[in-house]
Amino acid sequence: MEQTQRTHSLLLGYLLWIFGFIGAHRFYYGKKITGVIWFFTLGLLFIGWIIDLFLIPSMEREAERRYIGGPVNYNLSWILLTFLGVFGVHRFYMGKIFTGLLYLFTGGLFLVGVLYDFLTLNEQLSDVNSEI
């Protein structure tokens, strides 16, 4: 039986859950629409945020099935985006040097690029990992 490389971490999901009232863990697991809803409603007024404490294991299993693993690590990419996204460090890590420089000199394209990456990072990583 072929061993597949893990893409998403349960531990990182719970760590991002601490910031879950802004949807961080939902974006991490590829739940874009509910991530945006959590962002604008503070985790559905913190009620949905508390409920997610119990839903994270199923979100992790679903993300593991959906995204392609490879040499570019999802967890490191998400940490870099979350804490250094305005500097484009996550883009440099993925090998996207031009857009990394663009983010570095424009504050993550004036934060719009950072928001775009929160919505699309999982797909970008799957694409990069499938090309390698």
Model confidence pLDDT, tens digit, residues 61-107: 999 999 999 999 999 999 999 999 999 999 999 999 999 999 999 99
**Whether residue 2 has pLDDT greater than 50:** no
Model confidence pLDDT, tens digit, residues 25-46: 999 999 999 999 999 999 999 9
**Whether residue 3 has pLDDT greater than 80:** no
* Domain final position from 66, 93, 117: 66
Q: Which residues contact 54 (CB under 8 A, 6 or more apart)?
A: none
Which domain covers residue 49, as residue numbers? 1-66
Same domain, 15 and 62: yes
pTM of the entire predicted model: 0.90
- As for how many domains the chain has, the answer is 2
Q: Which two tokens stand for residue 88?
A: 């484009």
11, 13, 19, 23 alpha-carbon torsion, rounded to 10°: 180
